[in-house]
Amino acid sequence: MQSPSQPTAAHAIETVFRMEFPRVVAAVTRVVRDVGIAEELAQDALVAALEQWPHSGVPDHPGAWLTTIARRRAVDLVRRRENYARKLQEIGRSLETTVPAEEPAAPDDIDDDLLRLVFTACHPVLSPEARTALTLRLLGGLGTAEIARAFLVPEPTVAQRIVRAKKTLATKNVAFEVPYGPDREARLGSVLDVIYLIFNEGYAATAGDDWLRPALCEDALRLARQLAALMPKEPEVHALASLLEFQASRTAARTGPDGAPVLLKDQNRRRWNRMLLARGITALDRARAASAGPPGPYALQAAVAACHAHAYTYEETDWASIATLYGLLTARTPSPVVELNRAVAVSMADGPGPALEIVDAVAAEPTLRDYHLLPSVRGDLLWRLGRTAEARAEFARAAELTGNARERELLRGRAAQASDA
């Protein structure tokens, strides 16, 4: 058994490296303008650390040490390319490169480089899968094996996704920059969506046997907290952090002792994490303080989560407010999934009848065709209206559609219950 105070030299060095990795990659990308090359140079710096630190000890500023090594190699590389470019020019072709001055890294520069890395990893030229993989790799510091485990896909698949993503960024000449122009809002939205997607994959696993994969939620929450600290003026960034803090606060209560999912109405609210609830409220306050206009989509979702957080019992839930918030969200970002959520809130505020009308209005949406929550919600409304035979069919269909084994059991149970009624 390894003593906690004396991690092996390699583990201690890897820990430091993982902590510094995003900043090293960001600083080097500024020089080489290519995240793929930057990542390789960062790995080279790790090899140098593994060779030297066991004898010399970990330096006082390990991040600066790693960055210096990696940058030095980056500058060499750029110079070699320049020589190469000169040779090319002689035969009539050109290559644009610049060698930056070796300036010491001020905290603001580090933050700026990190933000550029965030916007690059979440760039819309990449597929959503590539964005999540690259973000977890470059900003979360996760290895490909960890990412593969988290998403239940083979490791080579993840490795390939990352390689392809880096190639795409290079071939499409994606600029290493923080967008400040008219596309900033959309680009920031893309970043927030990537983090939310990572969280959700852990929170409501779309596949596999576990109801929850907490590690993925925690990685996403950490990213959201990092972003909120890096972009304190952006209301939607605080709003995303707020939403995730609220969602994460319910983790312990969402799973029963046997690992089966526990629905919101049955959760023991004493098991909600008070610290995370408080952080959710604080982050939502920050979002509101930073906001000059109407609340954005994440602020509205965080406000819904806050309604649940403020209810000591399920019976005290302010469903009317939640229905209103979902109405605002639908107006802002029309989506059948949001309408489904609104229907649930309306069913609690005004009864299953009006809610069924909302569901039936979106039931034909192609995006919901294989979405298990549509028959699941519809089944519940039919059950409450006493239409048990129809309810049973809906629950059975929902059980067929879900990729999550735990949820399938739950839905089959409800179908059986409806058959017996």
Partner 1 sequence: MPRYLSLVKIDEASAPAEGPSPELMQRMGELIEEVTKAGVMLDTAGLTPSAQGVRVHWEGGKISVTDGPFTESKEVVGGYALMQCKDMAEALEWTKRFLKVHEEHWTVTCEVREIAEG
Binding residues (CB under 8 A) for partner 1: these are: 4-5, 7, 11-12, 15-16, 18-19, 60, 107, 111, 114, 215, 218-219, 221-226, 229-230, 252, 275, 279
- Residue 15 C-beta: closest distance to partner 1, Å: 4
Question: In this structure, are residues 344 and 358 in contact, taking their beta carbons and an 8 Å threshold?
Answer: no
Q: How far is CA 99 from the centre of its chain?
A: 34
Q: What is the CA radius of gyration of the chain?
A: 25
* Nearer of residues 251 and 376 to partner 1, judged by Cβ: 251
- Residue 221 C-beta: closest distance to partner 1, Å: 8
Question: In this structure, are residues 76 and 82 in contact, taking their beta carbons and an 8 Å threshold?
Answer: no
* Nearer of residues 12 and 337 to partner 1, judged by Cβ: 12
- Residue 30 C-beta: closest distance to partner 1, Å: 18
Query: Could you tell me which residues are beta bridge partners of residue 255?
Result: 261
| Cβ-based neighbours of 410, under 8 Å, separated by 6 or more | 260, 261
Query: Could you tell me which residues are beta bridge partners of residue 404?
Result: 208
- Residue 311 C-beta: closest distance to partner 1, Å: 23
- Residue 346 C-beta: closest distance to partner 1, Å: 36
- Residue 201 C-beta: closest distance to partner 1, Å: 16
* Nearer of residues 244 and 329 to partner 1, judged by Cβ: 244
* Nearer of residues 93 and 233 to partner 1, judged by Cβ: 233
Question: In this structure, are residues 36 and 167 in contact, taking their beta carbons and an 8 Å threshold?
Answer: yes
- Residue 314 C-beta: closest distance to partner 1, Å: 22
* Nearer of residues 19 and 405 to partner 1, judged by Cβ: 19
* Nearer of residues 60 and 96 to partner 1, judged by Cβ: 60
Q: How far is CA 250 from the centre of its chain?
A: 17
**Residue 172 is encoded by which pair of tokens?**
């499409």
- Residue 234 C-beta: closest distance to partner 1, Å: 14
* Nearer of residues 163 and 215 to partner 1, judged by Cβ: 215
**Strand, coil or helix: 208:** strand
- Residue 248 C-beta: closest distance to partner 1, Å: 10
Q: Report the distance separating Cα 6 and Cα 46, nearest Å.
A: 20
CB atoms within 10 A of CB 293: 6
Query: Between the CA of residue 281 and those of 116, 195, 284, 289, 308, what are the distances in Å?
Result: 29, 19, 5, 12, 12
Provide the CB-side half-sphere exposure for 221 (13 A, CA): 21
- Residue 72 C-beta: closest distance to partner 1, Å: 23
Query: Between the CA of residue 129 and those of 40, 151, 206, 240, 317, what are the distances in Å?
Result: 22, 10, 14, 20, 36
* Nearer of residues 107 and 182 to partner 1, judged by Cβ: 107
Q: Report the distance separating Cα 30 and Cα 32, nearest Å.
A: 6
Question: In this structure, are residues 318 and 328 in contact, taking their beta carbons and an 8 Å threshold?
Answer: no
Q: Report the distance separating Cα 348 and Cα 125, nearest Å.
A: 41
* Nearer of residues 134 and 325 to partner 1, judged by Cβ: 134
DSSP-H helix ranges across 33-176? 35-56, 62-90, 107-121, 128-138, 144-151, 155-171
Question: In this structure, are residues 254 and 145 in contact, taking their beta carbons and an 8 Å threshold?
Answer: no
* Nearer of residues 283 and 344 to partner 1, judged by Cβ: 283
